[in-house]
Structure 1
Amino acid sequence: MEIKKTLIQEMEFHTVVVGTGAAGFNAASRLKQYGVNDIAIIAEQVNAGTSRNTGSDKQTYYKLSLAGKDEDSVLNLAEDLFAGQCVDGDVALCEAALSTLSFYRLVELGVPFPCTEFGEYVGYKTDHDRGRRATSVGPYTSKIMTQQLEKDVRSKQIEILDRHQVIHIMVEENEVCGVLCLDLKSKDELHYVIIWCQNIVYATGGPAGMYHDSVYPQSQLGSSGIAFAAGVRGKNLTEWQFGMASLQPRWNVSGTYMQVLPRLVSTDSDGTDEREFLLDYFDSKEEMLSLLFLKGYQWPFDTNKIFGGSSIIDLLVYQETIIKKRRVFLDYRKNPGDQEIVFEKLSSEAYEYLKNADACFGTPIQRLEQMNELAIHFYQEHGVDLYQDKLEIAICAQHNNGGLAVDHHWQTNVKGFFAVGEVAGTHGVTRPGGSALNAGQVGSTRAAEYIAHDKNISTGRMNDSMKNACRERAEQVIQLLAGANHGTKSLSEAWKEATRRMSQCGGMIRNKEEVKKALDDTEYVLINYLQYVSVTNISQASLFYHLYDTLLAQKVYLTSMYDYLMRKGGSRGSALYTSSTGKKPGEKMPDLFTCELDQGKFGKLVQETYMKDDVCFCEWRPVRDIPDVDYFFETQWKHYRERMGSI
């Protein structure tokens, strides 16, 4: 394919926000609120991304308890976030301290979180939560947040550069200079845009495109690879959340989808030979049902819950789908075993919950209608009638707890480059359900506040020499496309191959030899990228750059996983690392699940991974502890005035 020389347009802003999810829109809104007016939002597709296109039975927002007699404090919440292992305490304290400010702002913007008639915002318990901090507006919590934040941004008349794909981050002397974008509005010829800026607030979401088995919306791919290529460090990249999700549509089957106790059946690939495989493993149907109930708010696969806990369910689903190559479905039309449930024989936790919900009766679909009718409506809106149809599921990647390394202002190691939302690695091995939505709002607020009040920003630091160096590298990125016309694989074939390799080797079950092979294969493709893939039409330019970004991200993530294995890290969080010297979760389990639990061995350490001259390196450091703050009012008032430049 011949690539003609294209005149590159140039623009300049003080700060750009990349991404139009809940974190990105909040960052732009806050920047404007704090007095930074020369800003723009860059969006590949305004209506794409995870925030707007994902959810669950009642998608959770996690915050400080704000109702009744529930005892809570900022420090209590920070300690619970910090307890997730590999979490920096200063970041946890910020997420706790700003949770109420961020929550009430969403309320004022029109997000209808439920409250009592007296104004108390009630909550419920979620996974890895010792209180009742969770709240929800239903399946579309993050979507509604995004919509209301977008309205606020548009009311402030903030410029949105839609249909611009960031393909290169320009950095000189470890400081941000700008971004190179592919203008996707042009259909007949390639247009590129250089956007100069002093700050980038990166809100691109997690690198969802890395995995084939994924619950992320298909519009969410991520852009972490080009951040690594620009010198940004990664943090806790080994830590993902995996769990059961429907395939069509992609959706978490958490909460009441599990608590109503559906049948789980598997079939051959053609839908024949249906059987309830869970009944083959458990000696007691009541034990099986009680653990199935717990999957509601213990939804993520958790290695701490594989020895007699609820994550046995995930392993059994994985065994059916990955090892036995069968298909697994949830069936809400009949009770498990097609028998009436004696609810009093369930665990006390399951029985009391279903009793309080007036759901100790009938079939799973009748209980779901009683407890959460909106959960049924969601699937009806996407062409699945749970009254009539089985729902196909698998174990899927759902959330990256790791990401780009940030400080307590959400700035990375590159000056002027801030990461907010899921792309920021603020979580650890585990996290309370819904804490990601809070972290996105807090992080984007912190970044905007810092940018607005940073006295060290130099408005004229980019000279002609620096800009020319950036232009030369941008030209190299553009010319990559011209060399991709002799490859042996189409972009779609190469994409499927890369993502399937990642799901197989870097997913829920990880083996040292397989991770190393996947890393070697990924590096080979990157080195030979222009000879590996074939681009035959300029309409494929977007996918060409996305695939390269994804391969870069896979390389860095697989390096992190291999380094962890070489240090003899054990199974933790949502990742089971196989070990010949460990033990199986049960005698009926395959040898593949033999493992040793980490038991907090690396819980006080953070792994940071970075790329230099195309080579990846890993470093380990202690976590930053929760700050010991002097809470004397006059002292903090003085510090505040000095920090904010007040009189």
Structure 2
Amino acid sequence: MLPWGGKTIAVPVNRSHTLVVGSGAASLCCAERLRRQGVEDLIIITDNFLGGTSRNTGSDKQTYYKLADAGHAPDSPYAMAQSLAAGGCMHGDIALVEAQNSLNSFYHLVSLGVDFPHNPYGGYTGYKTDHDPLTRGVSLGPYTSKAMTEALAKEVERLDIPVLDHREVLLVLTDEDRAVGVLALNKRNLDNEVFGLEIYLADNTVLGVGGPGGLYETSVYPSMHRGGIGMALEAGAEAVNLTESQFGIASVKFRWNLSGSYQQVMPCYYSTDGEGNDRQFFLSQYFDSMQSLCHAIFLKGYQWPFDPQKIQNQGSSLIDLLVYIEREIKGRRVFMDFRINPEGPKESFSLKDQNSEVQEYLQSSRADGDTPIERLRQINEPAILLYKDHGIDLTSEALEIAVCAQHNNGGLSGDIWWESTNIKRLFPVGEVNGTHGIYRPGGSALNSGQVGALRASIKIARSYREPVLDEEALREGVLLKVKQWLERIEALMNNSTGIDVFQYRREFQKRMTLAGGFVRSLDSAKKAEAEAKEQVNSFTTQKLLNREQIPFALKNRQLALAQVYYLSAIRHYLEEKGGSRGSFLVLDKSGSESHPLLSSSWNFKESNTDLNQYIQVLKNSSSGDIEFQFVPCRALPSEEFWFETMWKDYRENAYLKAK
């Protein structure tokens, strides 16, 4: 009960041993693993059970990265860990955990019915993905993560784990340095006297809210996925590597990555004016031959994320930069057209004139069609059908494209059990946990999500089994938080002027794309950070048309607050002499030339490789400011384990004390 408005009002309270927030592949896996280990008092809450990135995204051949166990080439967890950590800014012990547990997690999915293809001998034949020295990639097609999520959801249903849908989580509740649950909004109960606010108290909180999809204007995150890292940042959780995201070319009418065979069949790129007229083959002037242009397009299949190391010498990422210039600077629309072959600077297109790498791939794939759509049908017909399922016929229309935000390699900071490094009993799993560094092998995010879910479940089931919450002791602090949110909601409801909630969101999305996207500068980051702070402070100037817009407005605040952290991280990194790396370009007129035909305003600062050995950590200070520090990357563990002592530690649960 809470005194409010001259009366006492009731705020619903739900109590559980473990609360799982989110319904993606990582959250569902963690819930299912917990139940199998005997944790019965378990609840899943989510804003949209059928939403999220896991269920609604993919690529031409969405990859799951695992230890190679079906070929002649030898592999080991330590070798895989070295590959995971090789990109920089990743802790070696976390890389080893992800590698060591990859087969456990993969075969767990297989046991649930995820139909990964295998050879006649039962081996799950792999292929080489980006930043992968072996053949660790496996796939079941465009919808790998969707199939994972659906299989896990069926198991959650079979195990009768309660799922509460339509809950917008607003804040992680804490008591000193421990998570004690969340404050949420029941979107089906907005008309009651507390606007749908509900309290969820739990001994353990698993947070699987995905990446910051709602922050960007040009984004390939599913439109229904917005992310929820802001709720943990506001609660004081440490974050790492927020500077590191992946960006790549994707379609915008239907949000989908245009990697793999979409590029390897070499479609034609062109731009038009806003009405679709004045077609220009804008790439051709930047390549010295048809062969070099086609090779760059082809390589976008393997090298899909933008990479500043692949701009110069007519590299594949020059295409991303030129697409960005056409769209964001010239204000034109850009398309990929599978009905026609590329238009080059001089000669016309011919398959027989392609270099040996392209010809070998096409011949091995038995793709000799005269047009890109014919070659795509020969290589990967499901890639065509995927777009047809979403109302787009690649045989009759071109795809409008942009360089889009796709994945955040950073996120909340966790230890080797995926427990928050500074808030006990808070377990960020999936993309919201910042385990990845600068570069990561393609598909490693799916493995990381499943491994993190497993590790969090073990720590909860074996270390945090006993209930510890004292509800009466928490009462005053929790009700204070409820009162703060009631005041915010009432301020919104009483506001009769100001901007609508959609305009408020567009404002920070456009800012993030321009200042926190794949093209960055210190001046733009500073300006954007200041603007973002002002927008958070003016949160209550949003004008609501009705109560149904309350969740939208509150999510806006959460996203705008998260943007402050992301832009602050970028600004701090650039002030510390950070340069272009990973999937972003740092502009510097006195830096390296992007291309002889581009002005010096597109020159860029080379990577400061010394910073690759450190992880940027940020969190709230006691004064409310954001604190930063660079922490050295922990090395790959090299302990030699003796079975008898390891077995004793396991029996006594001593191994759970490792951080």
Q: TM-score range, shorter-chain basis?
A: over 0.9
Counterpart check, 1:325 vs 2:328: no
Q: Which amino acid letter does the alignment assign opposite residue 238 of structure 1? A: T
Q: 1:159 to 1:345 in 2, by over 3 A?
A: same
Q: Which amino acid letter does the alignment assign opposite residue 443 of structure 1? A: G
Counterpart of 1:47? 50
SS at match of 1:193: strand
Distance 2:190 2:221 in 1: 27
Q: Is the 8 A contact 2:290 2:349 kept in 1?
A: no
Could you tell me how far 1:4 is from its partner in structure 2? 10
Counterpart check, 1:434 vs 2:443: yes
Could you tell me how far 1:322 is from its partner in structure 2? 1.0
Distance 2:334 2:6 in 1: 47
In the TM superposition, 1:483-522 aligns within 5 A as 483-484=491-492, 485-486=494-495, 487-522=497-532
Q: Which of 65, 71, 74 lines up with 1:71 in the alignment?
A: 74
Counterpart of 1:89? 92
Gap runs ≥5 in structure 2: none
Distance 1:632 1:347 in 2: 53
Q: 1:336 to 1:645 in 2, by over 3 A?
A: closer
Distance 2:535 2:655 in 1: 51
Could you tell me how far 1:637 is from its partner in structure 2? 2.2
Per-residue CA deviation, residues 511-563 of structure 1 (Å, 9 max, x unaligned), is 11111111101111112322x21223111110111001001100011110000
Q: Which of 404, 407, 414 lines up with 2:412 in the alignment?
A: 404
Q: Is the 8 A contact 2:180 2:469 kept in 1?
A: no
Could you tell me how far 1:459 is from its partner in structure 2? 2.4
Q: Which of 191, 199, 219 lines up with 2:196 in the alignment?
A: 191
Could you tell me how far 1:348 is from its partner in structure 2? 2.4
Identity of aligned residues (%): 42
Could you tell me how far 1:461 is from its partner in structure 2? 4.2
Could you tell me how far 1:298 is from its partner in structure 2? 0.6
Per-residue CA deviation, residues 619-646 of structure 1 (Å, 9 max, x unaligned), is 1110111111213322322222222799
Could you tell me how far 1:126 is from its partner in structure 2? 1.1
Counterpart of 2:578? 569
Counterpart of 1:315? 321
Distance 2:445 2:48 in 1: 22
Q: Which amino acid letter does the alignment assign opposite residue 304 of structure 1? A: Q
Counterpart check, 1:602 vs 2:611: yes
Q: 1:523 to 1:3 in 2, by over 3 A?
A: farther
Q: 1:3 to 1:272 in 2, by over 3 A?
A: farther
SS at match of 1:408: coil
Q: Which amino acid letter does the alignment assign opposite residue 603 of structure 1? A: N
SS at match of 1:592: helix
In the TM superposition, 1:579-598 aligns within 5 A as 579-598=588-607
Q: 1:422 to 1:525 in 2, by over 3 A?
A: same
In the TM superposition, 1:98-247 aligns within 5 A as 98-186=101-189, 188-189=191-192, 190-247=195-252
Per-residue CA deviation, residues 149-205 of structure 1 (Å, 9 max, x unaligned), is 000111000011111111121101111111111011125332221111011110000
Q: Which of 280, 285, 288 lines up with 2:293 in the alignment?
A: 288
Per-residue CA deviation, residues 222-268 of structure 1 (Å, 9 max, x unaligned), is 11111101010110000000000000100000000000000001101
Q: Is the 8 A contact 1:3 1:482 kept in 2?
A: no
Distance 1:420 1:354 in 2: 39
SS at match of 1:46: coil
Q: 1:330 to 1:5 in 2, by over 3 A?
A: farther
Q: Which of 386, 389, 406 lines up with 1:381 in the alignment?
A: 389
Per-residue CA deviation, residues 74-126 of structure 1 (Å, 9 max, x unaligned), is 10100000111100111100100110010011111111111001100011111
Counterpart check, 1:271 vs 2:271: no
Could you tell me how far 1:589 is from its partner in structure 2? 1.9
SS at match of 2:164: strand
Structure 2-normalised TM-score?
0.95
Q: Is the 8 A contact 1:453 1:644 kept in 2?
A: no
Distance 1:132 1:593 in 2: 36
Counterpart of 2:478? 470
Counterpart of 1:56? 59
Could you tell me how far 1:68 is from its partner in structure 2? 2.0
Distance 1:97 1:513 in 2: 43
Q: Which amino acid letter does the alignment assign opposite residue 167 of structure 1? A: L
Counterpart check, 1:638 vs 2:644: no
Distance 1:246 1:369 in 2: 19
Counterpart of 1:362? 370
Could you tell me how far 1:67 is from its partner in structure 2? 1.2
Q: Which moved more, 1:21-30 or 1:190-199?
A: 190-199
Structure 1-normalised TM-score?
0.97
Q: Is the 8 A contact 1:7 1:191 kept in 2?
A: no
Could you tell me how far 1:458 is from its partner in structure 2? 5.8
Task: Please provide the CA RMSD for this pair.
Answer: 1.7
Q: 1:60 to 1:272 in 2, by over 3 A?
A: same
Q: Is the 8 A contact 1:109 1:149 kept in 2?
A: yes
Q: Which moved more, 1:124-133 or 1:417-426?
A: 124-133
Q: Which moved more, 1:27-36 or 1:468-477?
A: 468-477
